[in-house]
Amino acid sequence: MAKPVLLVVMDGVGFSKTGLGDAVTLANTPTLDMLMKTCPMTRLKAHGGAVGLPSDDDMGNSEVGHNALGCGQIYSQGAKLVNESIESGKMYSSEAWSELVANCKANGSTLHFIGLLSDGNVHSNISHLFNMLEQAKKEGVKKARVHILLDGRDVPATSAPIYVEQLENKLAELNDADFDGKIASGGGRMKITMDRYQADWGMVELGWKTHVKGEGRQFSSAMDAINTLRQENEGVIDQDLPPFVIGENGEPVGKIVSKDSVILYNFRGDRAIEISMAFDNDDFTCFDRGEKPDVCFAGMLQYDGDLKLPKRFLVNPPEITNTLSEVLVAAGLNQYAVSETQKYGHVTYFWNGNKSEKFSEELETFKEIPSDKVSFDERPWMKSAEITDDVIEAIKSKKYDFIRCNFPNGDMVGHTGSLDATIIGVEAVDLGLARLMKVCDEYGVTLLVTADHGNADEMLEKNKKGELQVRTAHSLNPVPFIIYDKDVKYSIKDGNYGLANVAPTVVKMFGLTAPDCWEESMI
């Protein structure tokens, strides 16, 4: 029998290229340092083409990262998937787009767009919004309203005015006697609308009140709102700006009402699911929506294929098959997956190829540890100790052949922009690794350590003036892949590897045959 394998994903922990705000190096990490010095190790590409994104200027993220880790292949993802659909014309010939436009034309109603306003290419791209606005006008839609979520996370922390100006210019270009386009509402992505994993429904409720009902503080323009709210909230970055409504003569310019059409133009699923539920589910009980408008709603993608959420979507998702979980299930091997709420979906849904259901109820066990509902810079250790406790119990049970876990600290604390807190978060992960190594030694388990993308490794950047500023986005840096086994001597072949090379390496450790469509093993 092959030895059990434990794969640890240190979310958001990469190798810095700039040394700017490198919380990974600044942290006291004796365990990680020792592993990198004494064990077989390589650096994996975790962005751009290695995870199916359009170019190497595109930073990776946890979703596409775990897709690649879990399936051993590279699929077109996110922006690239949408780009291909727009370029081929498939998006505008889709049934969903046709329904959205036809609804507006038949009822003389408004086409609303809700989404993250940036070119970060992680959740959305402003170019997709511009393209859809142009196409809507071309097809005869008379009125459009845009509900903007401010980024400052996947792009520079206070860059919102750049994107607002671009949108205002695009609307001015399109507006004429036959078309009326305006920004209607907005707010920071970590304040409204874009919660994930049902961690804070209050965010989504606030977004619903802002976008749909037009309730909230009114401003004459989005730029006025941003400037005023920044002055009133000293030091606040875009992602944390309070919600706002654009008004004229005391009335909101873009409430969402019955017979309107609504497009959620984010392509990444985790922070799109809850607002989609609020629009799509008739039996919704997570907050009081009031009188729900009867609208034609669609997402850029279907964010959860098993839940069929949303029912309408503009771009078909990649059909990921031949995942690592399927290969292990076919071989009769038991699997265990655990993380806290913030990354639970990544070691389950995304790992299994965007599927909510298990491939085998008997052979797959999932465990979610509830995350704290606080800003993660206040508790940067997060649930690292609890995750470690749980993995140790799973190893000691001797039930599982393959165990995977995710420590979210490097990513979630890194996104807060607090360098000091992120250093503590990275150190908490290192403590977990030290404890896991001891149990792996005792129970004869092979330990693999990797990450899904960088973040904590680059928390400062220089602006155009050469001044240092806080960076809250993921990095373009490579991530580690380490093999630790006190009994078996492994060696990693020379080569340029990415996250998709991990699954074939795991399969080879088990003595199994990888599907022909997979990338090569590193051993």
* pLDDT at residue 327, as a whole number: 98
Rounded to two decimals, the pTM is 0.80
Q: Summarize the confidence of residues 153-177 as an average pLDDT.
A: 97
The answer to whether residue 62 is catalytic is yes
Which residues partner with 405 through β-bridges?
A: 8, 338
Q: How confident is the model at residue 196 (pLDDT cuts 50, 70, 90)?
A: confident
Candidates 16, 62, 85, 325; catalytic one: 62
Q: Summarize the confidence of residues 160-173 as an average pLDDT.
A: 98
pLDDT in tens, 316-364: 877 799 999 999 999 999 999 999 999 999 999 999 998 989 999 999 9
* Domain residue limits, the chain: 5-76+319-488, 79-315
Backbone angles phi, psi at 335, to 5 degrees: -125, 150
Pairing relationship of beta strands 364-369 and 335-340 according to DSSP bridges? parallel
pLDDT in tens, 93-143: 999 999 999 999 999 999 999 999 999 999 999 999 999 999 999 999 999
d(CA 488, CA 508): 14
433 neighbors 128 (Cβ within 8 angstroms): no
pLDDT in tens, 428-445: 999 999 999 999 999 999
Burial of residue 444, with CB atoms counted within 10 A of its CB: 0-12 exposed, 13-18 middle, 19 or more buried = middle
| The residue type at 73 | Q
* pLDDT at residue 264, as a whole number: 98
DSSP one-letter code for 150: E
Q: Which CATH architecture best describes the domain 79-315?
A: 3-Layer(aba) Sandwich (3.40)
pLDDT in tens, 251-309: 999 999 999 999 999 998 889 999 999 999 999 999 999 999 999 999 999 887 657 89
Which residues partner with 7 through β-bridges?
A: 404, 448
pLDDT in tens, 22-78: 999 999 999 999 999 999 999 999 999 999 998 888 889 999 999 999 999 999 988
Q: Domain 5-76+319-488: which topology?
A: Alkaline Phosphatase, subunit A (3.40.720)
Whose tokens are 């879990």? That residue is 70
- Considering only CA atoms, which of 503, 436, 444, 520 is closest in space to residue 35? 436
